[in-house]
Structure formats: C-alpha cells, structure tokens
C-alpha cells in the first residue's frame, strides 16, 4: 500500500492533468452560457455568451425612409428562420440612418411573429476587435440545431495593418468549415468597402496568378450575399421620422411647431438622420415632462 505522501503526490498530479485538459477543451465542448435569452454579447476573452435582458431597439414600423431596405432584410431573415436559403448581410452607408437599429428591429419582429414554422432566432453581438474569434464562436453554436443565430457586428471595418479580416473571409467564403447552416452574419459599416484600397492592392499583389486576383474595386464586402446601402435622408423623410416617434410616444405637438423646431434642430446638428430625429424627440419629451 502506498504511503499517504505518495497518494497526495498522485492526487496533485492528476489535478494538474485535469486542469490542463480543461484549458484545452474547445468552446464547442464547453458550456458557453447559452440560455433562454434571445440576445447575447460574445465575451471572446472568457469564451462565454453574456445574456442581454433588454435590447436597446425600436419597433420595425418606426424606421422611416428605409422601407425597401427593411423589406429586403426582413425577407432574408424570415427565410433564415424557416430554415430556407438566406444570405449574410452587409448594411453600409450614412451614419445615423438606422443600420444597427434595423438589424435589432428585424430580429425582434421575426421572433414576435410566433408562427410554428419559424425557429427561435438568437442575436449574438460580436465586437469588431474580436472578429478573430469568429470561427471559434461559430463552432460553439453550430451544434445548437434547434436554434437559428444571427451573429451581428456593428461598425465593422479594417485598417491597413490588420489581419483579422482573414477570419471573416474564412467564414464568409472559401473556408473548409464555412458558415454553419444555422448561422447568418449581419454587419454594419460606414464604409462601402470594408478594406481600404492599399489592403486590396496587397491582396492582389500576393495572389498566385495576377490574372485571377481581385479587381481593385472588389473587397471583402463582396463576400456578403446581401448588400444594403443607406443614404442621408431628405427633409420630408426626416420630419416623417419625428412625427412617427411623437405619435408612438404620445407627444402632443402641432405639425407647424414640430416642423419649425425640427428644422432648427437639424440645422444646429448639421445633418438629418434617424439618430438626429430621436435625439430631437428625447429633448422634446424632456421639455414636456415625458419619458421615451
């Protein structure tokens, strides 16, 4: 029979081996924190999903001036929730015109329909600086076949010396694993092309055959199947946004006063957008002692 000191030494060695095996376990083999919530933030450092109990969003009907874009993204998301073919989507263009708001609103709208043929949609936000961990996240959620996942990255773009875009390319196009059937990737960006021109030039220069290299105008964004462009709105659309918000929140104000004050507000901001519109409505509600 071994003495107590030897048994203690063996126990410590086994504990170290178990700890080592634990650190080598892949996210797909670990509990990543997926629960009953419909929205999560991906904590890349911990390899965990952090539930978001209350998502900052507005009803899809309140998004004005983007009707065609709304309908296109909604149709794509409905197809995905039904288990049919659907594309990854890039929403690019003018600041404050509702790109990220549309993603969140469409997610909530589809989940709210509650029809039997639609699978539950889970929205997972991944930070731009964590894009390198995207393949790891995809592997972790691929086995959750009863769910459908929208992985969402807000304000996505890449600077000159970054290489993390290669992880995204692997998921969007050309990798051995590719995108799991139960996942779509939605991203927003102020840039039409996610990679600056000097990065595109470098991609072309390092190609095996220059004749097969990408054209200088083609970039990572072209790997998204759905490409939705947002543009600055005109004054009538801006005023319609504000009137819609006021009606929704029960803010009583005449059309004449609303028009005059909204135009003055947009002039002081130097722009007209959905973001400027809701900022005006919040200010107006505060003056009237109301919450929005």
pLDDT, tens only, 121-176: 999 999 988 988 988 898 899 889 899 999 999 988 776 666 666 667 767 765 55
* Beta-carbon contacts of residue 178 (< 8 Å; ≥ 6 apart): 171
DSSP conformational letter for 250: T
Residue with tokens 């773009």: 157
Query: Which helix (H) or strand (E) covers residue 103, if one does?
Result: helix 99-113
Query: Which helix (H) or strand (E) covers residue 90, if one does?
Result: strand 89-93
Q: Taking a C-beta distance cutoff of 8 angstroms, is the pair 87, 123 a contact?
A: no
Q: DSSP readout, 131-167?
A: GGGHHHHHHHHHT-TTSEEEEEESS----TT--THHH
pLDDT at 157: 75
pLDDT surpassing 50 at residue 227: yes
pLDDT at 5: 67
DSSP conformational letter for 183: E
DSSP conformational letter for 160: T
**Residue 241 Cα distances to 31, 52, 57, 245, 279, angstroms:** 43, 27, 15, 6, 11
pLDDT tens by residue, 10-24: 766 666 665 554 444
Q: What is the pTM of this model?
A: 0.79
pLDDT at 135: 86
| C-alpha–C-alpha distance, residues 265 and 281, integer Å | 10
pLDDT at 263: 96
Mean pLDDT, the chain, as a whole number? 83
pLDDT tens by residue, 83-123: 999 999 999 988 888 999 999 999 999 999 988 999 999 99
Q: Is 28 helix (H, G, I), strand (E, B) or coil?
A: helix
Q: What is the mean pLDDT of residues 178-193?
A: 85
* Beta-carbon contacts of residue 128 (< 8 Å; ≥ 6 apart): 153, 154, 155, 156, 157
Length of the chain (residues)? 292
Q: Taking a C-beta distance cutoff of 8 angstroms, is the pair 216, 205 a contact?
A: no
| C-alpha–C-alpha distance, residues 48 and 41, integer Å | 8
CA angle 129, 133, 134 (to 5 degrees): 100
Q: Taking a C-beta distance cutoff of 8 angstroms, is the pair 218, 211 a contact?
A: no
> What is the Cβ-side half-sphere exposure of residue 176, based on CA atoms within 13 angstroms?
1
What is the sign of the dihedral through the CA atoms of 276, 279, 283 and 289?
positive
């Amino acid at each position: 029979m071994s003495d107590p000191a030897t048994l203690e030494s063996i126990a410590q060695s086994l504990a170290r081996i178990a700890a080592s095996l634990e650190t080598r376990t892949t996210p797909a083999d670990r509990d990543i924190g997926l629960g009953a919530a419909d929205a999560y933030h991906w904590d890349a450092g911990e390899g965990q999903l952090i539930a978001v109990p209350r998502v900052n969003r507005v009803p899809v009907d309140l998004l004005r001036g983007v009707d065609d874009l709304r309908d296109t993204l909604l149709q794509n998301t409905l197809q995905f929730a039904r288990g049919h073919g659907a594309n990854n989507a890039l929403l690019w263009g003018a600041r404050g015109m509702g790109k990220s708001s549309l993603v969140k609103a469409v997610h909530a709208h589809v989940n709210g329909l509650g029809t039997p043929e639609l699978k539950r949609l889970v929205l997972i936000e991944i930070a731009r600086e964590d894009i390198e961990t995207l393949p790891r996240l995809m592997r972790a959620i691929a086995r959750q076949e009863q769910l459908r996942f929208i992985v969402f990255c807000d304000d996505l773009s890449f600077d000159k010396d970054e290489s993390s875009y290669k992880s995204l390319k692997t998921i969007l196009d050309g990798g051995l694993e590719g995108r799991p059937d139960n996942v779509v990737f939605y991203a927003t960006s102020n840039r039409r092309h996610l990679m600056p021109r000097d990065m595109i030039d470098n991609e072309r220069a390092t190609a095996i055959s220059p004749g097969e290299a990408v054209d200088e105008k083609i970039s990572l964004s072209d790997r998204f199947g759905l490409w939705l462009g947002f543009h600055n709105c005109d004054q009538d659309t801006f005023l319609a946004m504000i009137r819609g918000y006021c009606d929704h929140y029960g803010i009583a104000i005449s059309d004449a006063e609303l028009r005059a004050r909204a135009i003055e507000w947009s002039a002081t901001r130097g722009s007209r957008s959905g973001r400027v519109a809701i900022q005006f409505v919040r200010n107006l509600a505060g003056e009237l002692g109301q919450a929005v």
